[in-house]
Amino acid sequence: MPCRISHDSRVRLRCGVSISQLGLGTATLGGMYSSLTETDVADAIHTALDLGINFIDTAPHYGRGVAETRLGVNLEGVPRKSFVISTKVGRLLLPVEGESDTQFFDADHNVTQVFDYSAEGVKRSLLESLERMGLDSVEMVLIHDPDDFADQALSEAYPELEKLRAQGIIKAIGIGMNQSAIPTRFVKETDIDLVLIAGRYSLLDQSAAEDLLPAALAKDVAIIVGGVFNSGILANPVEGSMNNYASASEEILGRAKQINEVLRDFNVTIAQAAMQFPLRHPAVKAILVGCRSGKEVRENVAAFNADIPEAAWQALADLQSEIV
């Protein structure tokens, strides 16, 4: 019998939504780095639901709508109250002919992505996401990657989402990014409910702890951590591993191997520690992990549930202090 995520591990956010502390990220379902069969997609989604994962994060960006479409197909007939969805705004998908995509192997080549953080763009994006998923509503909407559009996201995208939240159309507003400076600004200048921060609070990179996490803790803003494996190196640190969406440097690979060696003394895998580390910070409420099959879901649930002795965490802290 495969292990499940305990219902006791669910956390209630200030918006009233309860989510599993292990969530399913769906960039992989858009074919990120390699193509997936529809059978593998279905297996990943339904295994996650069967094992107690109720939180699923998606975005138009993931395969240019493919991840959302695949999610919708596989959620058809599933009781709506049994899952929580977050999707994102900030990119519109516009018609184009045969545009290639080097990141998402299953991407829709008949649309292109255009950044749009206007109020009208936000409304359009959300409506199109709902249509792709076959849903009437989602619980959470995140402003996605406004690296070069922070001011517009603050002055136009956020107020539009605030109206939707006030009307009860959505329950929570967030921002999702790979950097911590702009999300910290949102925490301080708006009334957002959550931040999805990818890759900036992991065993290799704790930069979000300097600004974002303290700010979020002070304002009761939930932090969701994505990219816990830093694109793969913290799942299996070998030559050719990916780090931050590119090949890992020798320095980073060396650090990951050091972490791996320390953990071996405690019979702990680096994947187990990578998944559990973010949740040791009080600001972090959940993590997201992408899975390519039901087998990967089961492996990740087992790693999430694994017992890690406090001595192992102390050994990692000692290693970090040596590096600093």
**Active-site residue numbers?**
62
Please tell me the distance from the alpha carbon of residue 134 to that of residue 247, in angstroms, as a whole number.
37
Count how many Cα atoms sit within 13 Å of the Cα of residue 312 in the half-sphere of its side chain. 22
What tokens were used for 18? 């309860």
CB 241 within 8 A of CB 253: yes
Please count the CA atoms within 13 angstroms of the CA of 259 that sit on its side-chain side.
30
Q: Of 269, 312, 283, give the one whose Cα is nearest residue 200.
A: 283
| 257 vs 138: CA distance, rounded Å | 40
- Tracing tokens 């279905």 back to the chain, one arrives at 42
Contact 141, 89 (CB under 8 A): yes
